[in-house]
């Protein structure tokens, strides 16, 4: 099995410095939400780089999307400082507060001019506002003008469902609902220069993409933007999908929806629902996936770099 030396991980999370009491409080809140992590979670850039070295990962893109504007901006500042300190190990996906279009536009400008961000990260539903909300059109328009790469991630800290925590399966369905809503809102049609990267192999979307293509343009489906059957297939095929925590069964349906060069590596590092063991098992499943040729499997770890020229340039120095 070929190693993953020099791969790029699009899906890395982080936690800005917090007090021990805040860490303890967050732990209890998670457990109250059926997210039964055994102890308070700790994150550090040093331990992350240690894992990246072990896994043969050259660079990891960092994203974290707090639910208040001040915390979000502070988090972006902290991540930018890490990229400045470790320019060949980390990339920045600046978080955007997508419940507030005006604040989004300001943060896009600040992230590019002051923080030198590589791309952007958004939550599928941020403070109850979905990404298909047409009030966000000015935000997408600005990102479209910048040919931006935008990472879509669900809210892993949403309330539990049927006694089980959101990261187990609910994240997949929230992702799917959101991307389908964006499709019918015409987001992908109106803003074709944005490269959207969807976490967790697109959630349940690849499995349902054939159903969407078959039925989604039928007259009994509300479709005010007149999205066509061909457009459904084409727009879904333009998405990039990461491999985070889904490789054993997620790659086959993903490859029915997108081409191999739109599959990008993601570890889902830096969160309490991932461990070294689960990340390594998933990475081995990517490397050993029999539905692709060896060169295509190896390319998964570098496919995303074409979307991030500044990060690629840092790696070449």
pLDDT digits 0-9 by tens, 196-230: 999 999 999 999 999 999 999 999 999 999 999 99
- Cβ-count burial 66-89 (b if 16+ within 10 Å, e if not): beebeebbebbeebbebbeebbeb
pLDDT tens sequence across 272-297: 999 999 999 999 999 999 999 999 99
Provide the greatest CA pair distance for the chain.
Answer: 56
Please calculate the CA angle 177-183-188 and round it to the nearest 5 degrees. 130
The phi, psi pair for 290, rounded to 5°, reads -80, -10
- pLDDT grade for 105, boundaries at 50, 70 and 90: very high
- pLDDT grade for 248, boundaries at 50, 70 and 90: confident
- pLDDT grade for 126, boundaries at 50, 70 and 90: very high
Give the number of other CB atoms < 10 A from CB of residue 127: 13
Does 2 score more than 60 pLDDT? Answer: no
What pLDDT score was predicted for residue 5? 80
What pLDDT score was predicted for residue 1? 44
Distances (CA, A) of 237 to 55, 106, 130: 29, 31, 21
pTM: 0.96
What pLDDT score was predicted for residue 3? 63
What pLDDT score was predicted for residue 14? 97
E-strand stretches of 200-256: 240-242
CB proximity list for 286: less than 8 A, separation 6 or greater: 4, 243, 247, 251, 265, 297, 300
pLDDT tens sequence across 37-49: 999 999 999 999 9
Strand partners, 295: none
């Amino acid at each position: 099995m070929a190693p993953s030396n020099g791969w790029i991980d699009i899906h890395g999370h982080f936690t800005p410095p917090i007090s021990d009491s805040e860490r303890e409080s967050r732990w209890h809140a998670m457990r109250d939400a059926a997210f039964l992590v055994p102890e308070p979670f700790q994150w550090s850039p040093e331990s992350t780089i240690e894992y990246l070295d072990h896994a043969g990962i050259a660079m990891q893109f960092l994203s974290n999307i707090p639910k208040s504007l001040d915390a979000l901006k502070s988090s972006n500042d902290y991540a930018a400082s890490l990229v400045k300190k470790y320019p060949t190990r980390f990339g920045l996906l600046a978080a955007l507060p997508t419940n507030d279009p005006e604040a989004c536009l300001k943060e896009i400008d600040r992230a590019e001019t002051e923080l030198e961000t590589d791309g952007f990260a958004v939550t599928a539903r941020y403070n109850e506002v979905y990404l298909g909300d047409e009030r966000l059109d000015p935000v997408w328009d600005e990102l479209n003008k910048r040919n931006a790469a935008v990472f879509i991630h669900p809210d892993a800290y949403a309330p539990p469902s049927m006694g089980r925590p959101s990261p187990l399966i609910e994240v997949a369905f929230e992702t799917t609902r959101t991307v389908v809503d964006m499709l019918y809102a015409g987001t992908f049609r109106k803003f074709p220069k944005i490269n959207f990267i969807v976490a967790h192999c697109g959630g349940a979307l690849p499995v349902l993409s054939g159903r969407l293509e078959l039925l989604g343009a039928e007259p009994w489906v509300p479709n005010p933007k007149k999205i066509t059957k061909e457009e459904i297939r084409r727009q879904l095929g333009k998405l990039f999908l990461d491999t985070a925590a889904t490789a054993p069964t997620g790659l086959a349906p993903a490859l029915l929806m997108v081409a191999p060069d739109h599959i990008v590596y993601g570890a889902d590092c830096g969160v309490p629902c991932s461990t070294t063991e689960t990340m390594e098992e998933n990475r081995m499943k990517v490397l050993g996936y029999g539905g692709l040729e060896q060169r295509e499997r190896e390319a998964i770890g570098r496919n995303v770099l074409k979307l991030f020229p500044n990060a690629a340039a840092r790696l070449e120095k």
